[in-house]
Amino acid sequence: MAGDKAHSSFPIRSERAEDAFAESIVAGLKDAASRCPRDARLDRLVRELREVSDAIARQWETETAAAQHTTDLKTIRHPQIGDIRLDRDVLIVPGADLRMVTCTAAAGSSDAGKPDLLRLTAGRTATALT
């Protein structure tokens, strides 16, 4: 998220709008806060996220909650493997506060073998493995 004080080890780019991730996080947090208004840990988490993320702070101030983030195409820039394009889906269990996130590369694409390569090499370069 642009303008954030914290960042990922590997740059991740979304095919959705720049603030799409923040919108989805805030939607989930607003939903949880509406169901658990006296949860001190949730309140503290929201305060901390708003302090470290300009995008989350901006989204929190909006009147309406965004739709839950359920699908996206992500490109992760790995320093040894290069760009990896992954379909990301979030499966939500209604009323259970349970989400399962899956990331898959399209079958037959140039990215299809990259997750396996990362798993097998732990992200090290070929010269580091010899």
Domain of residue 95 covers 70-130
Looking at residue 126, its pLDDT comes to 55
CA distance 129 to 14: 31
Residues 78 and 39 in one domain: no
Residues 36 and 88 in one domain: no
Residues 63 and 26 in one domain: yes
Looking at residue 125, its pLDDT comes to 60
Share of the chain above pLDDT 70, in %: 79
Contact 84, 60 (CB under 8 A): no
Residues 51 and 94 in one domain: no
Q: Which of 7-11, 13-17, 43-47, 121-125 has the lowest mean pLDDT?
A: 7-11
Looking at residue 63, its pLDDT comes to 76
Residues 97 and 60 in one domain: no
The structural domain count of the chain equals 2
Residues 89 and 102 in one domain: yes
CA distance 15 to 17: 7
Residues 80 and 59 in one domain: no
